[in-house]
């Protein structure tokens, strides 16, 4: 009888058990809410993941398998234990070649530390840092998308008073832009305007009794870097006129502010057309900063715009996602990382792009890049000048042939370049085999450091 009594739970133990069960359920519910439920990929997501991962690793011996991954409620791929990886794309970043705080190599190193597999370096109005970024990326097994963020002006027809600055991101193939000289001249004109703009801002600040000199701003910007508002703002902090960059912008340098000035930016439509003509993918940057995004998106779509930024580190912005759907545009996003520090800046790789979004981006971009690579190679085959030869391997960053390298022939060099830029199927096509054969018969200057 005593044993039977011990087997019966008393009311207190039942209540404790219920409380414990309730707390466990609440804990699981909170954990699920924070991380999203894990579920297997759909067939569509699996195929998309396989396609994206093959592109990311086309110049490597292996790639991530979709079987080792799951997706969360937002369709973002997550790893499953050891051996699984997450394909992180960072499509908007800046180095000290424009208004960032890190060198291109340090930017790549930081991105690698954050798990980024594909990094687009998109400095303002310059592609100067791409070569350094490519060198660094090769050490970490990362992929670089050569990019640039073009400063433009949108001018509503017949209303010059409503002009507003618009930034357009350009993404190029691993071989770089076609018509490189044309694009460089276009960007150089914008950079020249930046010098005038910075001097005008300094003059306005001086009139506001805030003493600042051109030498201070130029020193902060660095040699060969076209100064931007952030360099003026840093000089203001250094001179003690403001406490931090945020105050400099909020009080003086914001669009239309008392020390704001424009440069010689082209019309936004002209920039989009230039990007398309030079083999790039054109994407409207941070549309949430625009006063009249609908009119701008409509006009730029007519000019050839491919997409708009929709994703940020705090998630997808539904209003811009809807606009992208309305105008048939790609939806992408990036951190817009500058390395300024502070709580207000998103970290490299912090924007979770769903695998289907990455797949759609590459579905649009790769045919454009494929054509650009073909055009660059054909131009070199027709005119095998030293400058055109240098163009082929500029972005491949192949190590010098000296020192016992296995790249002992022109064909080895061409094949290595093509393996970095194209899939097996693409480079084994009749058109690329014919171009490769022509290029393999050209004599490379193996002693010249400019080519290899």
Q: What pLDDT digit, counting tens, does each position of 47-75 carry?
A: 999 999 989 987 654 344 444 454 444 44
Mean pLDDT of 183-203: 93
Cβ atoms of 85 and 79 closer than 8 Å? yes
Q: What dihedral angle (degrees, nearest 10) is formed by the CA atoms of 368, 297, 228, 163?
A: 140
Of 91-105, 279-293, 336-350, 431-445, least confident by mean pLDDT is 431-445
Cross-strand bridge partners of residue 307 = 283, 330
pLDDT at 306 over 60: yes
Q: Looking at the predicted structure, is the pLDDT value of residue 202 above 50?
A: yes
Please tell me the least confidently modeled range out of 5-14, 133-142, 263-272, 349-358: 5-14
Asked whether residue 420 carries a pLDDT value surpassing 90, the answer given is no
pLDDT bin (cut points 50, 70, 90) of residue 406 is very low
pLDDT exceeds 60 at position 284:
yes
| Token pair of 413 as six digits | 């060099």
CB-CB contact of 148 with 122 (8 Å) = yes
Higher-scoring residue by pLDDT: 449, 366: 366
Mean pLDDT of 341-359: 90
Q: What is the pLDDT of residues 362-394, one digit of tens each?
A: 999 999 999 999 998 888 888 877 777 777 767
Locate 61 and state its tokens. 């011996």
Q: Where are the domains of the chain?
A: 89-361, 362-441
User: Which of residues 332 and 226 earns the better pLDDT score?
Assistant: 332
Half-sphere exposure of 232 (CA within 13 A, CB side): 29
pLDDT of 14: 46
- What average pLDDT does range 166-172 have in this prediction? 97
Q: Rounded to an integer, what distance in angstroms lies between the CA atom of residue 73 and that of residue 131?
A: 38
Half-sphere exposure of 445 (CA within 13 A, CB side): 11
The mean pLDDT of 135-141, rounded to a whole number, is: 91
Give 378-415 as a DSSP string.
HHHHHS--HHHHHHHHHTTTPPPSTTT-S--SHHHHHH
Percentage above 90 pLDDT, the chain: 56
Question: Do 97 and 129 contact (CB within 8 A), yes or no?
Answer: yes
CATH class entry, domain 89-361? alpha beta
How much is the average pLDDT of 201-213? 95
Q: Who has greater pLDDT, 7 or 45? A: 45
Q: How far is CA 96 from CA 57, 143, 223, 228, in A?
A: 28, 20, 11, 11
3-state secondary structure of 394: helix
The residue count of the chain comes to 452
Contacts of 29 (CB under 8 A, 6+ apart): none
Contact 216, 206 (CB under 8 A): no
Return the minimum-mean-pLDDT range out of 174-183, 225-234, 312-321, 427-436: 427-436
Q: Is residue 94 pLDDT above 90, yes or no? A: yes
pLDDT band at residue 415, thresholds of 50, 70 and 90?
Answer: confident
DSSP reduced 3-state for 174: coil
Is the pLDDT at 3 greater than 90? The verdict is no
Asked if residues 280 and 170 have their Cβ atoms less than 8 Å apart, the reply is yes
Between 391 and 215, whose confidence is greater?
A: 215
- Whole-angstrom distance, CA of residue 129 vs CA of residue 106: 11
Mean pLDDT of the chain: 82
**Count of C-beta atoms within a 10 Å radius of residue 250:** 12
Question: Quick one: pLDDT at residue 372?
Answer: 93
For 27-41, 261-275, 302-316, 369-383, which range has the lowest pLDDT when averaged over its residues? Answer: 27-41
User: 42-51, 125-134, 313-322, 437-446: lowest mean pLDDT where?
Assistant: 437-446
Quickly count: other Cβ atoms within 10 Å of residue 232's Cβ.
27
pLDDT score for 422? 82
Q: Give the model's confidence band at 158: pLDDT under 50 very low, under 70 low, under 90 confident, else very high.
A: low
**Residues 226-283 pLDDT 10s:** 888 999 999 999 999 999 999 999 999 998 899 998 888 999 999 999 999 999 999 9
pLDDT of residue 7: 38
Taking 90 as the threshold, does the pLDDT of residue 423 lie above it? Answer: no
Per-residue pLDDT at 214: 94
At 168 the pLDDT is 98
Q: Which two tokens stand for residue 168?
A: 């357009």
Helix (H, G, I), strand (E, B) or coil at 103: coil
- Residue 41's pLDDT band (boundaries 50, 70, 90)? confident
Q: Which position has the higher pLDDT, 346 or 70?
A: 346
CA angle 412, 413, 416 (to 5 degrees): 85
Q: How far apart are CA 261 and CA 200, in angstroms?
A: 6
Burial 307-317 (b: 16+ CB within 10 A, else e): bbbbbbbeebb
Beta strands, E only, 133-235:
143-154, 164-171
Higher pLDDT residue, 127 or 437?
A: 127
The single-letter DSSP state of residue 124 is B
Phi-psi region at 14: left, alpha or beta (left = phi > 0; alpha = psi -120 to 50): alpha
- Quick check: 268 and 149 in contact, CB under 8 A? no
CB 366 within 8 A of CB 55: yes
CA proximity to 67, closest of 40, 102, 28: 40
**DSSP-based three-state secondary structure for 224:** coil
């Amino acid at each position: 009888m005593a044993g039977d009594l011990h087997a019966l739970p008393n009311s207190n133990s039942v209540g404790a058990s219920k409380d414990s069960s309730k707390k466990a359920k609440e804990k699981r519910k909170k954990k699920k809410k924070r991380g999203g439920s894990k579920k297997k990929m759909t067939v569509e997501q699996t195929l998309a993941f396989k396609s994206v991962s093959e592109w990311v690793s086309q110049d490597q011996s292996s790639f991530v398998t979709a079987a080792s991954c799951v997706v969360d409620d937002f369709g973002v791929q997550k790893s499953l234990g050891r051996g699984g990886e997450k394909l992180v794309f960072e499509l908007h970043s800046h180095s000290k070649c424009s208004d960032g705080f890190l060198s291109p190599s340090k930017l790549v190193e930081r991105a690698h530390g954050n798990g980024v597999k594909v990094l687009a370096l998109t400095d303002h109005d310059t592609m100067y840092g791409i070569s350094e970024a490519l060198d660094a990326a090769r050490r970490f097994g990362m992929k670089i998308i050569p990019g640039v963020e073009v400063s433009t002006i949108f001018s509503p027809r017949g209303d010059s008073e409503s002009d507003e600055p618009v930034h357009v991101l350009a993404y190029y193939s691993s071989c770089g832009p076609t018509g490189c000289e044309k694009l460089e001249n276009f960007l150089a004109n914008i950079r020249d305007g930046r010098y005038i703009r910075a001097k005008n801002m300094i003059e306005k600040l001086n009139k506001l009794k805030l003493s600042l000199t051109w030498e201070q701003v130029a020193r902060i910007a660095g040699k060969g870097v076209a100064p931007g508002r952030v360099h003026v703002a840093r000089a203001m902090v250094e001179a003690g006129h403001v406490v931090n960059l945020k105050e400099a912008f909020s009080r003086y340098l914001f669009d239309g502010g008392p020390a704001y000035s424009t440069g010689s930016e082209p019309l936004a439509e002209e920039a989009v057309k230039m990007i398309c003509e030079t083999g790039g993918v054109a994407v409207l940057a941070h549309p949430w900063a625009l006063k009249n995004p609908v009119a701008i998106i409509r006009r730029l779509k007519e000019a050839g715009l491919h997409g708009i930024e929709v994703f940020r580190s705090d998630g997808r912005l539904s209003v811009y996602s809807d606009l992208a759907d309305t105008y048939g545009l790609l939806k992408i996003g990036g951190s817009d990382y500058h390395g300024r520090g502070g709580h207000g800046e998103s970290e490299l790789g912090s924007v979770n792009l769903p695998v289907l979004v990455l797949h759609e981006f590459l579905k649009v971009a790769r045919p454009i890049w494929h054509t650009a690579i073909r055009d660059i190679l054909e131009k070199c085959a027709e005119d095998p000048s030293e400058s055109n030869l240098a163009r082929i391997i500029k972005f491949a960053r192949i190590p010098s042939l000296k020192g016992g390298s296995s790249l002992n022939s022109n064909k080895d060099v061409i094949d290595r370049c093509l393996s970095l830029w194209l899939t097996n199927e693409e480079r084994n096509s009749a058109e690329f085999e014919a171009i490769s054969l022509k290029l393999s018969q050209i004599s490379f200057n193996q002693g010249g450091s400019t080519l290899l």
